[in-house]
Structure 1
Amino acid sequence: MTSYPQETFAAGTEQAVSVRWTLASLSLSMLLASLGTSIANVGLPTLAGAFSASFQEVQWVVLAYLLAITTLIISVGRLGDIVGRRKLLLAGIALFTMASASCAAAPHLSWLVAARAVQGLGAAVMMALAMAMVGEAVPKERTGSAMGLLGTMSAIGTALGPSLGGVLIGGFGWRAIFLVTVPCGLLALFLGHHALPAARPRAKSTRPAFDVIGTLVLALTLGAYALAMTIGGGTFGTINLILLLAAIFGICAFLFVESRAASPLVRLATLREPRLRSGLATSMLVATVMMTTLVVGPFYLSRGLGLDAALVGLVMSAGPVVSALAGVPAGRLVDRFGAGRMAAAGLGIMAIGCLALSVVPQPFGVAGYVMALVTLTAGYALFQAANTTGVMKDARPEQRGIVSGLLNLSRNLGLVTGASVMGAVFSFAATASAFATADSVAAAAGMRATFAVATVLVVFAAAIAVASRVHVVEPTPEETEGVGGS
């Protein structure tokens, strides 16, 4: 029998009950963090009216949250490795809950934006450490199912945000979209306090130091990249170029700092591990593709197929619903057949979905779009569960926080890149076609071009995944059991 750290639960019924409550706590943390990402978007028009602000000003309610997560998620993962994940996760949940209350009480827009940034910091802790603690609470043979559950909760939070936010704003006003997460945060804090495994005491003399300089350089670098990809209203101007160059310079500075740090934030040798390097690259590429469905989909459905706003929302909800339903079954497939095989299968299904989105919707209408989207999303759910499981299984216990942070960062960078780059591809293709055609034909041309590019990205991700398996031969769970080692 494999030996686990002190955080591991006792065997038998008590273990099963403890694991369930621990997963409930981690799942609620992931749900709240993803809900915070999507619930505010629907309230932007209302906030613009409430604070007499422009769209460019109120969009910082969303950007502040995303930027805080993107710039800090690696740092909080590393900090959890040093000071203890349980302690930091509870602090993150408490910070998220207090910031939610502060958002609801905001007297002016600048207050709300600042509170959203603090809420994003709490969400970064919750996202990074919820994934990291799965390895401590769940036996390795069930890691895939647990990761699938967290993926399902993340999808539910993303899907629930717009609809729940709309209902709350209509019935109680904009403050309710932030106030609703306060009791949920208190429940997560209660569950976490009673169910999360206690960390093994660690002497202060054996704790590595926290890399403050590396953290600051990385945060500034990621912030510059995220701003370069988001500001400018879809155009890429001088400011965007300056920020992008600053991000490139920041990467070089970060590598220099980390190569000389006594206790680096990210050990550069870690990034040379084939599975981690492959997992991060494919995660970013896949997230870029999935963001494309959220950015391009509404334009095509409204302009290309002539749907009204209500029907656009209904059709768009098919993706998150499939992701939520497929998460746990995908995790079980990963446990049964192995992470490497299922990651490759998920990417193959995604490629079919992307290809279908580039050729099917126009002749087959809404039904063709929905079937292609369902295929793409099901493949994504399988890939996500497999990729996360494979990377986290290989992570050493003292490195789980930073590895989880790297995975979440790669996903966030993919989302930011997809929103900007793939949106620009659609705009360029649609504009080029619009000179001689109607809006519906131009939207269809943009759709074809964008998902043709997306198909290439998924095929490239599959090539990276296959190449990494040349270096890492993964046994199936049955082969592992056949070895009989303990």
Structure 2
Amino acid sequence: MAISDPDLRRPRGWALLTWERPRPDLIRTRPWAWRLAVATVCFGAFMGQLDASIVTLTYQALRGQFHTPLAAVQWVSLAYMLALVALLIPVGRLSDAHGRKLMYLYGFALFTAASAACGLAPTLTLLIVFRVLQAAGAAMLQANSVALVTTSAPPNKMRTALGMQAAGQAIGLALGPTIGGALVDTIGWRWVFGINVPVGIIALIAGHYLLPRTRQRSTTNRVDLPGILLLATSTTALLLGLSVASGLGLPQWATAVLLTLAVTAGWAFVRRQARTTNPLVDLALLRSGGISPGLFGGLCAYLVLFGPLVLVPIGLARQGVGALTSGLILTALPVGFAVAATLADRVLPPGWGNRARSRTGALGCVLALGLMALLPLREALLPAPLVLLGLSLGVFLPANNTAVMRAIPTAASGTGGGMVNMTRGLGTALGVAAVTLTLHLAPGTAGLTAAFAVLAAFALLALATVARPASPESGSGGSSGGADASFEL
């Protein structure tokens, strides 16, 4: 029988590289096919969060291996996050136009290959370069994961599908510190990156056969390359300036120069987005439906989430605590996050909307970080406030991101998911930079207390974004089809 859909005709030659292979009929026609697709996306969710929470456990080993200060080692994380910030939105655009499955699979291939290269890196400089390549692959995964979930699952199964994805992220985030600490203390920091390779190979094979092809595509738009360069310049200059202030081996006057460059490039970026016909960030969209406060609240929450992943291992290492023990203690945070992200709907009052959930989560973050700032940094005292912080963030982030994505048109779900993930990348990078800067400016025990206080201040800012009473448009926190694509944590 002839195939009328041209997208299903198998191309030849180089065209195969841009062809999305449809699922076999044996899989596609089954009622549970969507579960297989979502489970495949969970591989990416698992790897992304595992990588995010595992790398900070290598800092002390990297400082010893390459004989460099913390301000230099932090760029193993910062370079990764900066690349994500620059690439998530344009990759989302390209994926909407050329195929989400295609970009997702290429992302897995690049992420896996770059992970292997990171594990073999002979110098810190090359490790940072390979981390940038790894981030490019991660951007192709993250910009498409939400859209793949929401287009795979039937509308009445959307909440279940998003919960499955959240569980994959939560498991990766929860296992990261323990696995990272065990690897660093036993076979070495290189295996922190090598662990991604077997998972990536399995995910590539599964995605090839189980992910659905893209049936609805947007028109192809020219990528705003000047906008990407201005955004990358602004964020890189900002974080590099903070690194110089944190002890990176550059003259201190470079801090003022870099921060001035960051502000100038940021202003130029905003001006360009307002004038260009094909903006990287739609400023009109940001002005509607409380999207901007939601994105800022998410940025603060991601900063609060990842700041302790750097702070706690460094603080415990100063007391002679090993990486494995630090990882086990730090696991309390992502475990709390995992529990809240996956079970909040069953525990919280059903009448609570996204704003009420966000307020509760933000208040919990302030309380947890306040306790950590007041209590001494001791192994026995850390787990309880870390669990509280994880639970609070697990309540805040899904509700906050749901409210943001509901305000974004379904046709722009790829771009909207990229915006949410861009705030995650920037928030994570700022969390690493803020902790490093605070520890440099206030050495010793005072620095640990000050760093927790700084994180608590950002939790207060997140609370401020949801402090006003809920409006009728706020939603109830239930599923609403494709717009509920916000469960990307």
Deviation at 1:280?
0.4
> Which segment is superposed worse, 457-466 or 314-323?
457-466
Question: Given the superposition, is the C-alpha separation of residues 40 and 247 from structure 1 closer, same or farther in structure 2, using an over 3 Å criterion?
Answer: same
Question: Given the superposition, is the C-alpha separation of residues 301 and 95 from structure 1 closer, same or farther in structure 2, using an over 3 Å criterion?
Answer: closer
- Aligned residue number for residue 209 of structure 1: 222
CA contact (8 A) 2:39 2:164 kept: no
CA contact (8 A) 1:234 1:420 kept: no
Residue correspondences, number: 452
Over the matched positions of the two proteins, sequence identity in percent amounts to: 31
Residue identity opposite 1:374 in structure 2:
V
Residue identity opposite 1:386 in structure 2:
A
Question: Aligned to 1:465, what secondary structure does the other structure show?
Answer: coil
Residue identity opposite 1:216 in structure 2:
L
Question: Aligned to 1:264, what secondary structure does the other structure show?
Answer: coil
In 2, Cα distance between equivalents of 1:413 and 1:187:
29
Deviation at 1:19?
2.4
Structure 1 residue 157 corresponds to structure 2 residue 152? no
Residue identity opposite 1:274 in structure 2:
G
Choose which of 89, 99, 105 in structure 2 pairs with 1:90.
105
In 2, Cα distance between equivalents of 1:454 and 1:63:
18
Residue identity opposite 2:463 in structure 1:
A
CA contact (8 A) 2:247 2:440 kept: no
Structure 1 residue 243 corresponds to structure 2 residue 258? yes
> Which segment is superposed worse, 310-319 or 182-191?
310-319
> Which segment is superposed worse, 161-170 or 110-119?
161-170
Choose which of 380, 388, 404 in structure 1 pairs with 2:417.
404
Structure 1 residue 294 corresponds to structure 2 residue 295? no
- Aligned residue number for residue 187 of structure 1: 202
Residue identity opposite 2:407 in structure 1:
D
CA contact (8 A) 1:141 1:335 kept: no
> Which segment is superposed worse, 225-234 or 113-122?
225-234
RMSD over aligned CA atoms reads 3.7
- Aligned residue number for residue 436 of structure 1: none
Choose which of 336, 339, 347 in structure 2 pairs with 1:322.
336
Structure 1 residue 34 corresponds to structure 2 residue 35? no
CA contact (8 A) 1:145 1:330 kept: no
In 2, Cα distance between equivalents of 1:301 and 1:184:
30
In 1, Cα distance between equivalents of 2:170 and 2:112:
21
CA contact (8 A) 2:246 2:437 kept: no
> Which structure 1 residue ranges, 5 or more long, are not aligned?
1-6, 432-438, 481-486
In 2, Cα distance between equivalents of 1:82 and 1:22:
20
Question: Given the superposition, is the C-alpha separation of residues 214 and 300 from structure 1 closer, same or farther in structure 2, using an over 3 Å criterion?
Answer: closer
Deviation at 1:427?
5.8
- Aligned residue number for residue 142 of structure 2: 127
Question: Given the superposition, is the C-alpha separation of residues 454 and 221 from structure 1 closer, same or farther in structure 2, using an over 3 Å criterion?
Answer: closer
In 1, Cα distance between equivalents of 2:122 and 2:438:
39
- Aligned residue number for residue 464 of structure 1: 465
Residue identity opposite 1:228 in structure 2:
G
In 2, Cα distance between equivalents of 1:357 and 1:46:
25
Question: Given the superposition, is the C-alpha separation of residues 350 and 62 from structure 1 closer, same or farther in structure 2, using an over 3 Å criterion?
Answer: closer
Choose which of 432, 435, 438 in structure 2 pairs with 1:419.
432
In 2, Cα distance between equivalents of 1:335 and 1:198:
38
- Aligned residue number for residue 78 of structure 1: 93
Choose which of 201, 206, 213 in structure 2 pairs with 1:198.
213
Question: Given the superposition, is the C-alpha separation of residues 83 and 466 from structure 1 closer, same or farther in structure 2, using an over 3 Å criterion?
Answer: farther
Q: Deviations over 1:200-256 (max 9, x none)?
A: 2658xx433322222222222222223233345457932232222212111221122
Structure with greater helix share of residues:
1
Q: TM-score, normalised by structure 2?
A: 0.79
Deviation at 1:92?
0.9
Deviation at 1:171?
5.8
Residue identity opposite 2:205 in structure 1:
F
> Which structure 2 residue ranges, 5 or more long, are not aligned?
1-21, 482-489
- Aligned residue number for residue 474 of structure 1: 475
